[in-house]
């Protein structure tokens, strides 16, 4: 069985590595073109490209899969199945029709919940008790194809988008290896998604990380976790960006006023919100290193009593 693998971020790497370790024939690896990164704007390889080069796999980085020559190049690999994991592009119909066993997509949510670009962050933002992985057949819609298999795991209070994605990537790799041979042998029946309960998680932008202290402390806490590592959660202090790296809502604490900074008995500080107080655990002021709230407040004692902007 020949496989073409398509993926870009770190989430996709364990699945690719597990396929290789289990002696699957990877005819080619497709990943997004290199992008400028960092202050020097040097071209950076995607995690999937780095893994493919390390594994010695054929690599293709097309700017589009909608051109005839791109489809012809893909067809030349004669894939029996295409495995997709966060590739970053919707596959056009000519590509979907190429492999005999279709295009199998690994999606980090319990479909039909949290379709779209940011399902892991979406689960944290929604306060979901569980997240998971769905293996599905791709169609021309956005994560709308029938599901072959699912696996779920609990969302822990300390989970960030980064830590939850890492856990899901390992679950995804094992689930793919369970499903793929059974699918090819006709032992798996695709199950249509229930459109009545479908939700969608949109693209996250840098501006989404700005904290609105008028929201309840629980909502802000979820955002701090959902936007870690990107775009991060931040407010403004002394004309600079103050990143809130870790925080937790304080149970049973009376409101302190929206955005008002209060000292805590343990030595740190909290911020009043639209409902309750958010205890800040660690921060990073623009141009400075990350530090605990206790360290920060010792050097910024005049912060207590001030009101942070919403």
Q: What are phi and psi of 114, to 5 degrees?
A: 60, 55
Q: Please say if 228 is a catalytic residue.
A: no
Active-site residue flag, 282: no
Indicate the pLDDT class of residue 58, thresholds 50, 70 and 90. Answer: very high
What CATH number belongs to 206-303? Answer: 3.10.25.10
CB-CB contact of 29 with 60 (8 Å): yes
pLDDT, tens only, 78-102 = 999 999 999 999 999 999 999 999 9
Marked catalytic residue, from 107, 149, 159, 273: 107
> Which among 46, 105, 149, 201 is annotated as catalytic?
105
**Whether residue 251 has pLDDT greater than 90:** no
Confidence of residue 35 (pLDDT cuts 50, 70, 90): confident
Residue among 46, 118, 134, 233 flagged as catalytic: 134
> In angstroms, rounded to a whole number, what is the distance separating the alpha carbons of residues 150 and 171?
10
The model carries a pTM of 0.95
Active site residue 105: yes
Give the Cα separation of 180 and 188 in Å (integer).
9
Selection from 196, 28, 208 nearest residue 124 by Cα? 208
Tell me the residue ranges of DSSP E strands in the chain. 2-7, 25-30, 35-37, 42-44, 59-60, 81-85, 103-107, 115-116, 130-137, 147-154, 200-201, 234-237, 240-250, 261-263, 269-272, 277-285, 290-292
Q: What's residue 220's pLDDT?
A: 98
The string of pLDDT tens digits covering residues 131-169 is: 999 999 999 999 999 999 999 999 999 999 999 999 999
Which of 256-292 are b and which e, b meaning 16 or more Cβ less than 10 Å from the residue's Cβ?
A: bebbbbbebeeebbbbbbbebbbbbebbbbeeeeebb
- DSSP states of 120-181: HHHHHHTT-SEEEEEEEE--SSSS-SPEEEEEEEEPPTT--HHHHHHHHHHHHHHHHHHHHH
Let me know if 109 is a catalytic residue: no
Instruction: Report the length, in residues, of the chain.
Output: 310
Catalytic choice (46, 143, 233, 273) = 143
Domain ranges of the chain: 2-201, 206-303
pLDDT over threshold 90, residue 203:
yes
* Alpha carbons 271 and 48: distance in angstroms, whole number: 40
Q: Residue 113 and residue 63: Cα distance in Å, rounded?
A: 30
Fold of 2-201: Rossmann fold (3.40.50)
Look at residue 246 in the predicted model and tell me its pLDDT: 98
């Amino acid at each position: 069985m020949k496989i073409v693998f398509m993926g870009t971020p770190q989430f996709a790497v364990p699945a690719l590595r597990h396929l290789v370790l289990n002696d699957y024939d990877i005819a080619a690896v497709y990943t997004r073109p290199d992008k400028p990164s960092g202050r020097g704007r040097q071209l950076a390889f995607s995690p999937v490209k780095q893994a493919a080069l390390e594994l010695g796999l054929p690599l293709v980085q097309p700017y589009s899969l909608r051109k005839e020559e791109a489809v012809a190049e893909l067809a030349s690999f004669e894939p029996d199945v295409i495995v997709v994991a966060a590739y970053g592009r919707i596959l056009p119909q000519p590509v979907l029709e190429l492999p005999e066993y279709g295009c199998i997509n690994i999606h980090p949510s319990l479909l039909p919940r949290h379709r779209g670009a940011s399902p892991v962050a979406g689960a944290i933002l929604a306060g979901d008790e569980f997240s998971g992985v769905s293996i599905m057949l791709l169609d021309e819609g956005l994560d709308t194809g029938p599901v072959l298999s699912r696996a779920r795991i609990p969302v822990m209070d300390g989970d960030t988008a980064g830590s939850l994605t890492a856990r899901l990537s390992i679950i995804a790799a094992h689930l793919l290896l369970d499903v793929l041979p059974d699918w090819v042998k006709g032992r798996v029946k695709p199950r249509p998604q229930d459109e009545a309960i479908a939700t969608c998680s949109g693209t996250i932008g840098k501006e989404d990380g700005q904290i609105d202290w008028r929201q309840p402390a629980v909502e802000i806490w979820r955002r701090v976790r959902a936007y870690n590592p990107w775009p991060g959660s931040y407010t403004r202090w002394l004309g600079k960006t103050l990143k809130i790296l870790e925080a937790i809502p304080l149970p049973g604490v009376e409101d302190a006023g929206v955005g008002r900074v209060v000292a805590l008995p343990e030595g740190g500080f909290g911020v009043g919100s639209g409902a309750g107080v958010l205890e800040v655990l660690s921060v990073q002021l623009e141009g400075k290193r990350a530090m605990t709230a206790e360290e920060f407040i010792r050097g910024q004692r005049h912060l207590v009593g001030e009101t942070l902007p919403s």
